[in-house]
Amino acid sequence: MGLIVGMLAACGSAPRQLPAGSPPAAGVAPERRDAGAALPAPILQSKSRWTAVRWAELPGFEEDALHEAWNAWLKSCERPGPVFAPLCAEVRRLSIGELAEQRAWLMARLQPYQVEALVGGTEGLLTAYYEPLLEASRKATAEFSVPLYRPPPGLAQRKPWFTRQEIDTLAPVQALLKGREIAFLADPVDALILQIQGSGRLRITEDDGTQVLVRLAYAGSNEQPYKSVGRWLLDQGQVRDASWPAIKAWLARNPGRTNELLWSNPRTVFFREEPLSKQDAVWGPKGAQGVALTPGRSIAVDPGSIPYGTPVWLASSGAAANLQKLVLAQDTGSAITGGVRADYFAGWGASAAELAAHLKQPLRLWVLWPRQGL
């Protein structure tokens, strides 16, 4: 599901903890401490329950390339919440540390807790999202005619705002958006994908023929309910596969039904344009924590289950991917709800789009929370 990057608060306050056992002894090797110490009591969040486990229970923990996750953790330390802020100096120091040193530090300083939904179990759902890269024109042409808009005046005062169909068909609504165009795309489905993902990269041809690479970031929506166009097609028996390639193929066979498909989703997203330097281009857009996302190491979560900025061990196996790795909870999304639910930031480009189109498989999560008394 798409990226919703309204700048929400960074990692929140510590969750409510049930009466805890004795803290682990200091000065003991992490492996021995983990094996010998009593496990802490469960921790309750508003949408999940965390149960302490041994490090040995984390699948694939010995194999992960932790330095890749450290890049995402350094980003979280740009806007840390009160729980993880005290660790950031050590996180920065370890960014140039050896793999064994990073792993030993994790085991010494953090306690893994398996996440369980308050209603349900420890298994949930993993999906993926990405940052589209699209060709665009600064002005409308015969080829590029689909506008992408900045927020209209008065958007915050009228909730919900006009539907997608009303935006496309009502002259008074179009007048409100006149002059708010950022750029124009060639394909209305690409515009829909960009709105669902919540951000994207545009290679824009300017009026003088030069090209610039910019990022469009989420700047608001019409507050209408999101409806899946893929589900709309499935419910009508039009397709068996609701992936974007299948949706585009259906439209190629049924061009006269394009608006019918698009208007089945009344939700529209508005953007703001951001420059994209070479340095910025190696990172994703900013997530709800307010820091840039790291491909393959950032996830969107329900903040009622996992606070922003929390390191999380993720395990998921399926046809699309086999993942056992350290990630950071740095974003959220309108469809990312529940105790054991994550949206995996795949990055940008064709391979990221392919993964985002097909990743929908079982998920287990473990939060890594600071140990008490250290």
Q: Where is average pLDDT lowest: 28-32, 34-38, 44-48, 228-232?
A: 28-32
Evaluate if residue 274 carries a pLDDT over 90: yes
pLDDT, tens digit, for every residue of 336-349? 999 999 999 999 98
Q: How far is CA 369 from CA 40, 83, 217, 219, 334, in A?
A: 11, 9, 31, 32, 25
Q: In this predicted structure, what is the pLDDT of residue 210? A: 94
Tokens of 68: 């890749």
| Rounded Cα gap, residues 186 and 184, in angstroms | 7
Averaged confidence pLDDT in the chain: 91
Evaluate if residue 374 carries a pLDDT over 70: no
Burial class (CB in 10 A: 0-12, 13-18, 19+), 313: buried
Q: In this predicted structure, what is the pLDDT of residue 151? A: 98
Structural Rg of the chain based on CA atoms: 22
pLDDT, tens digit, for every residue of 206-264? 999 999 999 999 999 999 999 999 999 999 999 998 888 899 999 999 999 999 999 99
Evaluate if residue 185 carries a pLDDT over 50: yes
Q: In this predicted structure, what is the pLDDT of residue 37? A: 77
Q: In this predicted structure, what is the pLDDT of residue 33? A: 58
Evaluate if residue 355 carries a pLDDT over 70: yes
Q: In this predicted structure, what is the pLDDT of residue 2? A: 44
Q: Which residue has the tokens 């953090």?
A: 110
| Rounded Cα gap, residues 85 and 318, in angstroms | 35
Evaluate if residue 118 carries a pLDDT over 50: yes
Asked whether 351 and 128 are in contact (CB, 8 A), the reply is: no
Q: Give all domains of the chain, ordered by start, each with its CATH number.
A: 16-128+283-370 (2.40.40.10), 132-281 (2.40.240.50)
| Rounded Cα gap, residues 33 and 24, in angstroms | 7
When pLDDT is cut at 50, 70 and 90, the band that residue 5 belongs to is very low
Q: In this predicted structure, what is the pLDDT of residue 182? A: 98
Tokens of 242: 């609701």
pLDDT, tens digit, for every residue of 300-327? 999 999 999 999 999 999 999 999 999 9
